[in-house]
Structure 1
């Protein structure tokens, strides 16, 4: 139990440090709290990846956040913003809209469509493969310089 509490504390310390860094860091502002955001602000700009848990000590939440924090640069390059909600009692707008049960990972496209719901942690590689198949991402790839 001590290891879990230590890991959770370290995770929140890293998240706080990332949030306090300047905008020159590409990872700054990529992990947000559900209480502070609305899905409308990401429409056609970012791909929200929402991580739900009933508590920040949930081992699945800790595992998922470990996967994500190790590869924040990859997620940022795909216009992903990670939104966490570990307080069911707060009844955030996201929790009321997406209605998770326990741990959950939800990927929402730039177009506002829910493309993925998973009840278990996913590695960033699996998430990026899913993103690369999305219609808006396919369009982005075609329109970038040197795209086919």
Structure 2
């Protein structure tokens, strides 16, 4: 009975997903986009690098969708914190091309889920790949170029490059 039940649901669910009239917004929530759902004037264009506050989002929503660059400090006035965010903003187009999202947290008293997992001591920059694994972590500011070089060494990134430019095979 279970195989028949499973088969019936497997056949019906793909058709139900195609029956919607509007655009696919299944992965877009105010928490993942960092945008208030009531206002349309504040919506960031889909071709820009997102800078999201760790207190307002769930990092698990980005697994298998984006690479996460985490920037943490004990205070928003930390010079390292400001320099790291500036370095990311300078090369935002290049990070967007690498499917990156920046999540920052400068409020240790709020105990965001990312802060509980990464447990930074003062300032920290970390890169989480699409599979959810922390691939790189450093207690110092990195230039945008250094961060991109780290991302470009990931096996998943290399696979993406080969899929986009198959002439390199």
Structural mapping, 1:19-58, within 5 Å: 21-24=42-45, 26-27=47-48, 30-58=50-78
Could you say which structure has the higher helix fraction? 1
Which gives a bigger RCO, structure 1 or 2 (Cα 8 Å, sep 6+)? 1
Structural mapping, 1:1-148, within 5 Å: 21-24=42-45, 26-27=47-48, 30-148=50-168
Shift of 1:21: 4.8
Residue-pair matches, total: 129
Please report the RMSD computed on the Cα atoms of aligned residues, expressed in angstroms. 1.7
Shift of 1:80: 0.5
Q: Calculate the TM-score normalised by the size of structure 1.
A: 0.81
Q: 1:73 to 1:21 in 2, by over 3 A?
A: farther
d(CA) in 2 for partners of 1:87, 1:124: 23
d(CA) in 2 for partners of 1:120, 1:32: 20
Larger radius of gyration: 2
Consecutive unaligned residues in structure 2, runs of 5 or more: 1-40
Q: Which residue of 2 aligns with 1:3?
A: none
* Range with bigger deviation, 81-90 or 138-147: 138-147
Deviations 1:56-105 (A, max 9, x none): 10010011111111111111110000000000000001000111110000
Note if contact 1:141-1:147 (Cα within 8 Å) is conserved in structure 2.
no
